[in-house]
Amino acid sequence: MGKLPIITADQRMAERHGIKGVLIGPVGIGKTSQLWTLDPQTTLFVDMEAGDLAVEGWPGDTLRPRTWDEIRDFSVFIGGPNPALRNDQYYSTAHYQAVVAQFGDPAALDKYETVYIDSITVAARLCFQWCKGQPQAFSEKNGKPDLRGAYGLLGQEMIGWLTHIQHTRNKNIWFVGILNKLLDDFNRPYFALQLEGSKTGLELPGIVDQVVTLTELSTESGQLYRAFVCTTLNPWGYPAKDRSGRLTMVEEPHLGRLMAKISGPVRPILERLEYGQPAPAETTTPVSN
């Protein structure tokens, strides 16, 4: 049995930690267009939406998976194997070796610092389609389809995928998702990520470092502008989370500069724990059609 090494504080602080985040927003707000704020030489665009018209002319590399198997294969290729898994499981050493034999040298991925996955909403649809064809999606008694079994498997598959790719320590991973505005049982509005099933949406904020909502706000004069909402405590109820402690409630809608700020100097711990601070001055980036 191998010895588990202790990582010293100096070693841990010297490591390069990639940012793991989810960027959500309503349809048409400009989520895919955030690619223009990223370095095309070091960014890989994973396009599941087939909606790259907004970034036509963007000079970066693109991957277009069409099935859940392709998504899992790419994820183990970029994230490496999980040594805790059996060889008959996805993301195991055997799975990784089989994918490497098919895709080639994983060193080809070294050039990428950021992977932009558009979108987690479509990934969940592809996963659910795969789940509905598995044995767990059929009743043992009569062999008829069992949606409860399919949704249970969906939750397991999606959480397993997200957890595995989250362990890709040296790369920034951004998942893009569609934000829905819904009504609860008392007719009160709330916001939720558009996903098949409920398990993934509930657990996702605990898996990633950052949850950022790209939305439309307005000045006191009524002028509309786009902005990132980045902190859990916000007056609009948008999904948001900042594990870095470096962001304000509202940030300019530029993902490249946002990542630079997340990777910047650490704020003093007492300042990070301060609550009830006044909102920062609004960043006026007018909305244009």
Domain boundaries, the chain: 9-208, 213-289
Write the CA distances from 30 to 96, 181, 193, 255, 262, integer angstroms: 35, 17, 16, 11, 21
pTM: 0.86
Q: 71: exposed, middle or buried (C-beta count within 10 Å: 0-12, 13-18, 19+)?
A: buried
Q: What is the SS3 assignment for 60?
A: coil
Dihedral of the alpha carbons of 162, 168, 170, 171, in degrees to the nearest 10: -40
* Mode of pairing for the β-strands spanning 210-218 and 224-229: antiparallel
Cβ–Cβ under 8 Å, residues 145 and 138 = yes
The CATH number of domain 9-208 is 3.40.50: yes
Measured CA to CA, the distance from residue 66 to residue 134 in angstroms comes to 18
Estimate the share of the chain in helix, then strand, then coil, as percent rounded to the nearest 5. Answer: 35, 20, 45
Spans of the chain, pLDDT less than 70: 1-4, 7-16, 51, 267-289
Q: With CA atoms as reference, report the closest residue to 253 among 21, 27, 30, 18.
A: 30
Structure tokens at 94: 């055997």
Measured CA to CA, the distance from residue 177 to residue 93 in angstroms comes to 30
**What is Dmax (Cα atoms) for the chain?**
67
Cβ–Cβ under 8 Å, residues 118 and 45 = yes
Residue 1: predicted pLDDT: 47
